Amino acid sequence: MSRETVVFESWRGKYSDSPRAVSERLGELRPDLRRIWVVSGPDVQLPDDVERVVRNTPAYFLRIASARYFLSNDMMPRYPLKTRRTTYVQLWHGTPLKRIGFDVPDAKYAGADVYTRRLAKDVRRWDHLVSPNRFSTGKLRQAFRYAGSVLEIGYPRNDVLSGPGADDLRAKVRAELGLAPSTRAVLYTPTWRDDALTGSAAPNPLAAEAEQVLGGLPDDTVLLFRFHHLVAATSPVPRHPRVIDVSDHPDIQALYLAADLMITDYSSTMFDFAVTGRPMVFYTYDLAGYRDQLRGFYFDLEAEAPGPLVTTADELTAALADTDGLRRRYAPAYEAFRRRYCHLDDGRATDRLIEEVFS
């Protein structure tokens, strides 16, 4: 009797995110399943107990078409590969602050029309959509025009943030990055701008301001730049002894654990990082344009943010210099934020998914 096959795809060929968390847990609980990972090429590192298939090859299309389960955090290929025997679990990739899917007004990025047509086709294939919290469930249904099964269970990728191995993983990643125990690591995770894909977006200001900001902070502060994968290749990271480029790091959850503080803007990283309880600063230098013209929001960030919104390098430096003050002033807002968006981040989301889908 042949083994049932599970095909995993994350970010068009990376070993990462919620598909990775589910795959690794299935290896422990369901060794009878054949797990196959879609990779972008031979350089992607995988554990020894899974198979690989290279994206967009004939074998890739065959594996998806014959799979019993397909788990992804993005869309399937544009070709109609899903059969009725395949259960397609759409894990998606973030609690939405910014509008997504069909809710994006007058999308500004190149290829938007093609994307929305592909999205509509993909949504019709979903058997389950994973939601990270109560807030997201309604927003995801609305944004994707989806009326099927929603598994409101939390994101499997975040289990590690509150799991028993969190401290060990933090120490391991910091050592790999060359961070001393006394170093204060500040992770920077800006989202992408839709107009970046057309070449009309303004350059990221912190890349030019890093020396100024670091000059106003203690020498033990290091900036970890993590650009969005859609724009990382065209987003220069400043050359500075206290700046580390982590855009290619395969596991952002590990970077959350390694960091002592995070700077972001409108990225869904804010919801994941909140599980750690560590301070956040929001560098929202283009807030009005992004919120009112480029993308639009699902809630009022200024009212709910668990940290200060700053718009200049001087304001950013001042916020980063007062970590204790950040914790004290934003403790009530942070707790409210966690109650609303992190109530399912209890380290058991992966087990809940496996129970729902694979039992």
Domain of 109 in residue numbering reads as: 5-159+346-358
Determine the pLDDT at residue 263.
98
Do residues 273 and 291 share a domain?
yes
Do residues 138 and 172 share a domain?
no
Determine the pLDDT at residue 115.
87
Which residue do the tokens 């993909």 mark?
Answer: 122
Do residues 152 and 221 share a domain?
no
The number of folded domains in the chain is 2
Determine the pLDDT at residue 357.
98
Do residues 236 and 139 share a domain?
no
Determine the pLDDT at residue 111.
72
Contact between 271 and 132 (Cβ < 8 Å): yes
Do residues 102 and 170 share a domain?
no
CATH value at residue 12: 3.40.50.11820
- Cα 132 to its chain centre, rounded Å, is 12
Determine the pLDDT at residue 196.
58
* Spans of the chain below 70 pLDDT: 1, 80, 107-110, 195-201, 232
**Angle at CA of residue 349, ends 344 and 355, nearest 5°:** 130
From CA 57, how far away is CA 46, in angstroms rounded? 18
In 3D space, the residue among 277, 58, 71, 66 whose CA is nearest the CA of residue 166 turns out to be 277
Determine the pLDDT at residue 234.
73
Tokens of 182: 């006394």
Determine the pLDDT at residue 113.
83
Do residues 169 and 256 share a domain?
yes
**Angle at CA of residue 245, ends 311 and 254, nearest 5°:** 95
